[in-house]
Amino acid sequence: MALSGIQIYKMLPQTNCKECGFPTCLAFAMKLAAKQVELGSCPYVSEESKKQLAESAAPPIRLITLRANGTEIKVGNEVVMFRHEKTFYNKPGLFLRVKASDPDLAKKVAAADAYKVNYVGMDFTLDGYAIEADSDLSAAVKAVRDVTKRPLMLIANDVTLLDSSLGLLAGEGTLIYAGDSSNYESLADVAKKHKATLVIKSDSLDDLADLTQKVQAKGVEDMVLDLGGKNLGEWLTRSTQARRLALKSNFKPLGYPTIFFAAQNGVEKEAVYAAQAIAKYAGFVVLDTFAPEMIYPLLVLRENIYTDPQKPIQVQPGVYEINSPKPESPVLVTTNFSITYFAVANEVEGSGLPAWLVVTDAEGMSVLTAWAAGKFDAERIAKAIKGFNVADKVSKKRIVLPGHVAVLSGEVEEELPGWEVRVGPREAVDLPAFMKQALN
């Protein structure tokens, strides 16, 4: 039975040392009860308390980490069914499946590994590669490892083949696929030997729960679930049931991340299947197709779903130089909401016009939202102009406010005597024309 925050608090040292990152032991206890932190964050908890708190400290869905050569992907550790309840924490890993027998194996992996796209200041890439053993797996592992440092997944049922291939990946955290009722014992032994994560598969949740307990009894703690299912609807039902049992009923045998193969019913609907799996609880999504036009929207979808709804994506406040501005170039002002920033920056950069862009700290809110919330006002704008020493960078003291907050122009003039305050357009797309016509 899970303990309440108060019950956990009574077992903590109650020193309020703040070394766990929280102001009080009670605050830490409440987070621990909600399974949003790990007990190890408290450096002074007694061994006796650790034993008693083991159940409350363990996340409802086990955290699984795959790593290789300094890169890693973490999945699991989730605490809510729906994003709006709190947030989703660890984004599902997107893996590309390749065949060991493919003569262009290294070339294909290298091309996929080089793929990187920038989205509102973040670089998106694939997370790893799944190598299917339809020929010499060890040779394929060597070829893939020569061109990528990302985590790997090995798909094979031959224990000897897996053992030798995992030996080439010593010190890494690798995923092996897959154990079932017929071979789980031998695969569990290999997983334990190489400290690998083992995928367990079955066509029913009852059998799956039974298998995970048997594998755990053999000393393997890190597992991933293949829920089976004849179609997307059946998989979705099982995924929801497993998630609910783990989170709501604290049913440990199903408290593991899941894996989904998006091309299980053909590549025609692969993108649709992958999108559904990202939205509904998959820990790993395996793709058979590498196509930038398909990968990009999946990466954006994943980022949007796994962005904390209480913490908008932000950029660092400061002064940004666009198109090598000169001292006489205008000073534009906006908030640090990433989409707002990139909308303004991209339009100005695309126009070829130089400008200084001052990004104020508005707690990640857009212009109108921040203004309505009192986070984007004359005082904050003036503070940013002064704090970032903008006056030392320009010879012509002229700033441009977003058109949506034209009402602030008078107050900004009072806060910044000696500065010319102009009101720009409401939409970023109109900035280039405004700068050409009104700021010359």
* 42 plus 171 within the same structural domain: no
* 295 plus 371 within the same structural domain: no
Going by C-alpha positions, the residue among 184, 178, 190 that lies closest to residue 153 is 178
The percent of residues in the chain predicted with pLDDT above 70, rounded, is 98
In angstroms, the CA 74 to CA 65 distance is: 4
Domain tally for the chain? 3
* pLDDT score at 259: 97
Contacts of 398 (CB under 8 A, 6+ apart): 330, 331, 419, 420, 422, 439
Is residue 204 a part of any domain in this protein?
yes
Q: Is 90 exceeded by the pLDDT of residue 367?
A: yes
Range 374-379, long-range pairs (CB < 8 A, 24+ positions): 375/335, 376/335, 376/405, 377/408, 377/411, 378/408, 378/411, 378/412, 378/414, 378/415, 379/415
* 110 plus 188 within the same structural domain: yes
Query: The whole model's pTM is what?
Result: 0.76
* pLDDT score at 56: 60
Is residue 10 a part of any domain in this protein?
yes
* 92 plus 52 within the same structural domain: no
Residue with tokens 């666009």, as numbered in its chain = 322
Q: Note the pLDDT tens digit of each residue in 232-247.
A: 899 999 999 999 999 9
Is residue 364 a part of any domain in this protein?
yes
* 232 plus 334 within the same structural domain: no
Within a 10 A sphere around the Cβ of 219, how many other Cβ atoms?
11
* 248 plus 356 within the same structural domain: no
Say if residues 79 and 60 touch (Cβ distance below 8 Å): yes
User: Distance between alpha carbon 176 and the CA centroid of its chain, in Å?
Assistant: 23
Going by C-alpha positions, the residue among 197, 229, 202 that lies closest to residue 216 is 197
In angstroms, the CA 233 to CA 239 distance is: 10
Q: Note the pLDDT tens digit of each residue in 255-306.
A: 999 999 998 877 789 999 999 999 999 999 999 999 999 999 999 999 989 9
Q: Note the pLDDT tens digit of each residue in 48-103.
A: 888 777 666 667 899 999 999 889 999 998 888 988 887 888 999 999 999 999 99
Is residue 312 a part of any domain in this protein?
no
Is residue 39 a part of any domain in this protein?
yes
Is residue 211 a part of any domain in this protein?
yes
* 32 plus 178 within the same structural domain: no
Tell me the CATH number at 25. Answer: 1.10.15.40
Task: Select from 240, 270, 305 the last residue of a domain.
Answer: 305
User: Could you give the angle at the alpha carbon of 394 between the alpha carbons of 390 and 396, nearest 5°?
Assistant: 120
* Alpha helical stretches, state H, 71-182: 105-113, 137-147, 159-167
In angstroms, the CA 371 to CA 347 distance is: 22
* pLDDT score at 35: 67
Length of the chain: 440
* Assigned token pair, 412: 């900004």
State phi, psi for 356 to the nearest 5 degrees: -100, 125
Q: Is 90 exceeded by the pLDDT of residue 32?
A: no
pLDDT, average across residues 367-391: 93
Task: Select from 254, 271, 305 the last residue of a domain.
Answer: 305
* 290 plus 367 within the same structural domain: no
Domain residue limits at 383:
318-438
Tell me the CATH number at 388. Answer: 3.40.50.11600
Residue by residue, what is the 3-state secondary structure of 172-186?
Answer: CECEEEEECCCCHHH
In angstroms, the CA 194 to CA 159 distance is: 12
* 41 plus 129 within the same structural domain: no
* 276, amino acid identity: Q
* 231, amino acid identity: N
Q: Note the pLDDT tens digit of each residue in 132-169.
A: 998 889 999 999 999 999 999 999 989 999 999 999 99
* 29, amino acid identity: A
Rg (CA), the chain: 26
* 372 plus 277 within the same structural domain: no
* 126 plus 248 within the same structural domain: yes
* pLDDT score at 243: 95
* 270 plus 338 within the same structural domain: no
Going by C-alpha positions, the residue among 250, 249, 246 that lies closest to residue 281 is 246
Task: Select from 305, 338, 372 the last residue of a domain.
Answer: 305
Is residue 313 a part of any domain in this protein?
no
In angstroms, the CA 35 to CA 29 distance is: 10
Tell me the CATH number at 276. Answer: 3.20.20.20
Is residue 310 a part of any domain in this protein?
no
Provide the mean pLDDT of the chain.
Answer: 91
CA dihedral 15, 19, 24, 29 (to 10 degrees): -100
